[in-house]
Structure formats: C-alpha cells, structure tokens
Chains A and B, each alone.
Chain A
C-alpha cells in the first residue's frame, strides 16, 4: 500500500508533536537502549499455558517511546502492511496519552492487541526502522502497540466510533478469521448490516484454534469480538457455508455483497509410510484439540489428547513452533523440531524459535522423516529420518534441501506432529460458481480491489494468499471493504 506521507506529516506538524520532538535531542534518543520484553521464566512458564510475554509497564513503554525519532518520512510505516501511523501513536505514548495512542492505532488497525503480539515485526515495521541504518536495534514498535491497546482494554475504556445512519444494505463475510473480522468492522463503520458466518462453534479462525493461549490469550480475542458486536456486527456460528447455507440462500435473504475469508485450513501430510499411525497428528488437529477444545484441561474438558513423552514436530514455521511448545507444556520430556532446511531458512518468528530453545526444545535441522514405525497396537514408536544438505537456491530464494545418501537413522518417538503447511479448503471454491481458482486452490482476485471473478464477491487472507500472516489478512479485509463499498455505491455496478 502506498504510504500517505502528506497525512502523516500534517499529524506530525501539530504543535505538541513539534515541542515533544525538540524536548530531547535526537542524539540522546539514539543513545537509549531498546527495552527488553519482561517474560515468565522458562521453567515456570512450561508448567502451564499462561502468556509468556508479560508486557511493558508504563515506565518502560514511555522510555521506549522516547527512542522513536519521529522521522519526517517514517520508513517504518511502509513496512506495516496496513500503514499504521507509527510515530503518531508512539508519540502519544511519550505524551502519556495511552488511550489516545490506542485510538490512533484503531484508526488503521482493528486488532492492535493481536498484532502487537503476533506480527512478525522483525521483518515488517521494525525491519524498516531508521535505527538499522545507525546499526542499532529498531524501536520496539510491536511491544508499544501491544502496550497501548492493552491499556485501553484494561481501562475498560473502549471507544466506539460514530457510525453513520445504517444504510440497510446487507453484506456477509464467510469465515471469521482476521480477514473477515477486519472486513466486518470496516463495513459496519460505513453503516452496512454485516453478518459473519463461521463453521466452528468459536469465532476468530486461527486466532482461536491455532495460535496458543501462551502467545495470544483468548480473552483478548474475545474482547476484540465484543467490540465488533458493539459496532453492530452479527455473528452466526456453526454455519458451514456451502453446506448449511449456500451463497444463493444468502442472496435470497437479501445479501448484496460478500467477502470470503475462509482461510487455508486444509492440513498437508507428507504421504510417507506409517503416517496414519496412532499418535501422529496434523498440527491443526494437535492445536485445535488444545486451543479450541481445551484438551490440556482434560478430563475437566471432554476432549482428549495424547500427552507424549517423546514428541517430534515436523516443520519450521510458526505452526511447528506453536506445536512443539504446546508439547512441552503437555509434559514432553523430549520435544524436537525436525526441519529439512537450516535454522536460517526457518519461516517461524525469531522470538518463537528463541522461546522454544529456552524451553528446552531440541532442533534437528537438515533432517527429514521418511518413515514411521509402529508397535503392535499401531502406535508410532520410531521415526526413520535422513540428513539433508543445502543445494542451490530455489524460487523462494531459500536453498533447496538435498538428501545425503546413506544418512538414515532411527529416533524413538511416541507422538509426532506434522506441521508442514496447509492448503486452502476446497469447499468454498467448489460450491460457489464462477470463482476463478489457481492450481494451489487459492481464489484469484484483482489485487487492487480484492474482487473475484464474480463481481459482488470479494476475497482475502489465506484463501487468496495461501498461508500468510494476520496483518496481511487484515489488510486484505480492509481493502475489500473499501472496494465493496465503492461497488455497491456505483450506479452501474459494472464488473471489473
């Protein structure tokens, strides 16, 4: 998204900002060191599912906010997929107007408490901070974002924006992940009657069933949903669109515009011998049992899970890290990451890899499973792996793993979690006529507008991108809302 520097600069030229900027010299600001996120100690945190990062206190947050130089052309903003006015909110923190900072965030980001926790800041906003040019650690934008929105929530002082007189036009979102939630909020703010349809009994997609409590407490997700309900968004759970209801049914009920945010929830397996043995899970199943169904509180909750002692998690992304750290919390004595490339190529967030190591997770990099061996009851007991070397770079720019011949060996395991990625669920593309779908099963959209081949249907998030990030999904939801609004307003309703 192109950054609107004019708007940023108008905000920056306010009297109080000018003064605040001058109150400390840039040199002094530059000499301050980056805050550390206070966190629970590894030995303590692995006993439960409490949030690992404790959050900055007021003093630390204000201190960190002083480091931000309030740049005239803030490069950080272009690193944020939704172009949050980063110096704008940070300077409000420096001014100790924390609620004001939270509201500034909400102007562009409906879920700042979520993004402040789970965005890969190190490759997004913070990667573009001017401090890198000075060979210093970037401003802790994510921590500050989390701080401001937590302040607002804890103060119980959530502001509801003025909503224009309802225009009575009904629009629907399919799926309730971050893409749809953002879409719903943006449409509600424009006066539309929005209904969100979710297949599961719980809302928020991966934020609920995937990302664990110790990284993203569900109470935060719930309060973000409550906010949307206050904006007038209606949520319908247990509706599998294409099964319980079709798009045609919705049209008959008067819906005029649609957003598909059904995610990429279909787990991939490796299709190697023994993979259907007892004790082998997809990461989706493992995490869903724990997060959505609360299997970590079994038998207090009815859903069981295998509490393995020797757990191997296959993969190197966020999903794999979340799974392996979950295994540690379920009592694994040995929890391993088995990844076919080297640590450098791991797509997981650096913070997660670091936390996993602190929690005692072993990393078997450049290692790939080829077969699972089972006992008489069909439970997995060993996995055969082979060592990998790194060859030339592939399309993704990462070096391609190549097999080291004759390097196979056995590892004892009683639980395996396969976290090698997900594909889009084919249900929606299959049941809605006229959509254009790629060979990977993602829905084709006009990237400028998020409009699909069917004019009144827009789509975004993982169903369009394949597995991506929360903030990219949100950016799509926002763009789609703008476009759908324009489409509904346009007299001709011309197809793209």
Chain B
C-alpha cells in the first residue's frame, strides 16, 4: 500500500512523488488533499493532490522541504511506502465557466494550483497564469502549466528568470489590461494576503487555498481553524478554499508560527540522526 512508484526533484528543495493509491486516485477532484504519515513516529501532514492517474491508480504529491516531516518524505525512494495516506480530504474546487481567470501560484503553491488551473481551462475559461518564485531554481511546473495556459507570466524576486518583481506586479499588469472574472491564489500566506488586497482593489472575486496546521483533517480537532468573514471555519472540512477577501490572514500567519521553536528542535534532532 502507498508505494512510491516515481520520484523526481523539481528543484533543489522541491520533490515530486508519485504514490500508488487505488482508492484516492479514483475519488479525488482538484482542490483536495491527503494527510500522510511517513512512519510510526511521524506527524500527520496535509499535502495537496497535485495530480492523479485513474488508470495507473496513482496520485502525485509535490513537497517542499521545510522541516522534519517534509525532509523525511523527500528522502524516501521509489519502492518505499508511506505508512498512512488518508483522503481525499477537503471540498473540491468549484469549477465553472466564468470567462477570464487569473491563476496565481507562489512557490510550492504552484503545485496545488496546477490541477485547479487545468480544470478551469477545461471548463472553457480563458486562463492566465502568473507564477512567482524567489529565483529561477525554485520555480516549479512551468512547462506543465504552459501546456494549457492561454498566457503565462513568470515573476522572480531576483529577476533570475521571467520578470523581476513580486507576483502582485505581474497580476496587476493583467488586471489593468483586461476584465477578469475570477482569481485563484495559492502560495505562502503572506503572498495570498497581498494578492487578495490587490484583487479587492479591482473588485475581482478571488479564492485562496489555505495551508493551516492540521492534525486529523476530518474536522475533529480545530487545529486548522481560521477566521473567515468574522466566523471560525475549519480549513480541513469547510475549505481548504475560501473567499480570499474575507480571510483574516494576520491571524492565520500567527497561528502558522505556533510551533516555530519545536520545529527547529525537531529538525536539528533529525539532522543529527542522519549524521
């Protein structure tokens, strides 16, 4: 069960795993995620289903190495298995033909954006993708996205590829140029916050997919809670996507920092255990 059949490094810090998953591969829709555990001391961590292959019964996960659990995952090899994979969790993205859509992906957020962008294109929308990364090395899935996007804008913080600047600059260029019916923003919380402020200025309805800390992923613990429109929501069951203009990003960013100290401690211990 849950055997890794393929592994590919997309950048120095981002790895793609294709995992056998007969049930989830059949049931998933764009926007959903799984919760995995690598081993019996491991955390339960959420990862978006970046792609799925119904015929070969696999799902694709794209992981950015940030701490212990993601490094453990990235160190697995084809033939290894994940101990637990549960899903598909969360509500699927509502896919509809609305006209012109700007799909904005920052960093590893490009991975969850990929299946959503593709589905929006397949539904008949004009799709403009704006991808942002700190530098060329960290940019992922560019070719895959370019294959179906009507237009693609790439922004890098250091100008090492595409245009130099923040992702919001690339988005604003589009918003100034033509009417846009929907924006989708996925990436670091701070990026989603600024994209959301921008699209609000242009009155463009926007959805954001949130990456809060989770434990069970089934609505049982409340670890993933965020404030949306003044109400507490559980990202794992009410989301992960919400109206981007209603999200309290500052609260979310603070909550993401809950375990900073512990995460560092855990990661240092992990590195030591490898040495």
Contact = CB atoms under 8 A, between A and B. Distances in A.
Contacts, number: 114
A294 B225 CA distance: 22
B221 A267 contact: yes
B220 A284 contact: yes
Interface residues of B, number: 41
A304 B237 contact: no
Contact of B41 (A289, A302, A426): A302
B220 A425 contact: yes
Contact of B219 (A265, A269, A293, A378): A265
Interface string A359-385: 000000000000000000110000000
B257 A288 contact: no
A37 B245 CA distance: 58
Nearest to B265: A299
A244 B86 contact: yes
A201 B37 contact: yes
B223 A285 contact: yes
A278 B255 contact: yes
B218 A199 contact: yes
B112 interface: no
Counting chain A residues whose Cβ lies within 8 A of the other chain, the interface size class is: 35 or more
A284 B87 CA distance: 20
B23 A245 contact: yes
Contacts of A427: 218-219, 237
Contacts of A282: 221-222
A419 to B, nearest CB: 12
Interface in A277-332: 278-279, 281-282, 284-285, 288-289, 293-294, 298-304, 306
A111 B271 CA distance: 43
B84 A238 contact: yes
A245 B22 CA distance: 11
A405 B265 CA distance: 46
B88 A288 contact: no
B232 A271 contact: yes
Given A282-B221, A282-B222, A425-B220, A304 B23 contact: no
A282 B234 CA distance: 12
Contacts of A201: 37, 44, 83-84, 86
Interface in A94-122: none
A209 B218 CA distance: 14
A348 to B, nearest CB: 21
Interface in B33-48: 37, 41-44
Interface in A222-247: 237-240, 243-245
A1 interface: no
B86 A240 contact: yes
A301 B43 CA distance: 8
A47 interface: no
Contacts of B225: 269, 276
A186 interface: no
Interface string B218-246: 11111101110000100001000000000
A282 B24 CA distance: 29
A266 interface: yes
Contacts of B89: 240, 243
Identify which of A243, A282, A299, A302 gathers the most chain B CB atoms within 10 Å of its CB. Answer: A302
Nearest to B68: A302
Nearest to A284: B221
A403 interface: no
A372 to B, nearest CB: 12
A278 B257 contact: yes
A3 interface: no
A459 to B, nearest CB: 18
B168 interface: no
11 contacts: A200-B216, A201-B37, A238-B85, A266-B220, A276-B227, A276-B251, A278-B254, A278-B258, A300-B41, A302-B41, A378-B251
Interface of B: 23-24, 27, 37, 41-44, 68-69, 83-89, 215-216, 218-223, 225-227, 232, 237, 251, 254-255, 257-259, 262-263, 265-266, 269
Given A199-B216, A266-B219, A285-B215, 9 more contacts: A199-B218, A201-B84, A243-B89, A245-B27, A294-B41, A300-B41, A303-B215, A378-B254, A425-B219
Nearest 9 A-B pairs (CB), nearest first? A378-B254, A304-B262, A285-B221, A238-B86, A282-B222, A265-B220, A201-B84, A302-B43, A304-B259
